[in-house]
Amino acid sequence: MASRSRFNPDRWAIALIVTAALAIAGWRWLVAHPEHNPWAPLRLSDRVGWATASKLAHLRDEPAECRAFLTRSGIAFTALPPVGEGACRRADRVTALPDMRSGLVLRPAGAQASCAVNAALALWLRHSVQPAARDLLRTRVVAIEHLGTSNCRRIGGGAKGAWSQHATGNAIDVAGFVLADGRRVSVLRDWSRPVPEADFLRAVRNGACKVFATTLSPEYNAAHRDHLHLDQAARHGFGVCR
């Protein structure tokens, strides 16, 4: 007959001590790395990490908290009243005011997008666009050229099918970048050329994938040959990056 294992209080005590030590060490690591800490508030200065996407998704669902993020990040904006009806109801409308310091300057000016799109734009500029411009082009971005944010239409522009994120202003189509030295980087012109601007465009596309729910580039299809489509669609799991 097999003997029963005896309860060993010393082993249990050691196991509890080790578990507690690991938990404390893990918590201290999360505190030191807020970009990976899902309980830490989103801050513009934090690097993009494991928890960034979920924090941005929370801001998408809580416009008031999103606007608080813009305020504490020093991003001036104008909040606009809701407009539209049905699938094209734009309940969350924010116009970010031009900020030459960060490069958050949209051309044409006055773009009306959801707060979550503006929050992601700010993070993208800080942690992807400006570092890529510095490292690959030896300058900085002073403005983003876009093709629009709001458009009451379905995906592909047809009469049927799912509604585009543009219908609610929850997207922006980026066509190019204006640089401090006077150059202009164009998605249409530069994406397929053997030039540093093409490397820059791919780097910022990859960076956008970390903060936007959807990132579509010229590699997706011909309809996106002249822009990067960026949106904050509600998704379960991983975002779309093409």
Rg (CA), the chain: 22
* Cis amide linkage into residue 34, ω under 30° from 0: no
Q: Which residues pair with 229 in a beta bridge?
A: 173, 216
Does the pTM exceed 0.85?
Answer: yes
242 residues of the chain, pLDDT tens digit each: 445 556 677 777 676 666 766 565 555 555 456 777 889 899 999 999 999 999 999 999 999 999 999 999 999 999 999 999 999 999 999 999 999 999 999 999 999 999 999 999 999 999 999 999 999 999 999 999 999 999 999 998 888 999 999 999 999 999 999 999 999 999 999 999 999 999 999 999 999 999 999 999 999 999 999 999 999 999 876 789 99
C-beta of residue 135 within 8 angstroms of C-beta of residue 146? no
Closest to 219 (Cα-Cα) out of 194, 187, 195: 187
Q: Which residues pair with 154 in a beta bridge?
A: 163
Which amino acid type is present at position 1?
A: M
Which amino acid type is present at position 181?
A: D
Alpha carbon distance 206, 200 (integer Å): 10
Per domain, the residue ranges of the chain are: 10-40, 42-241
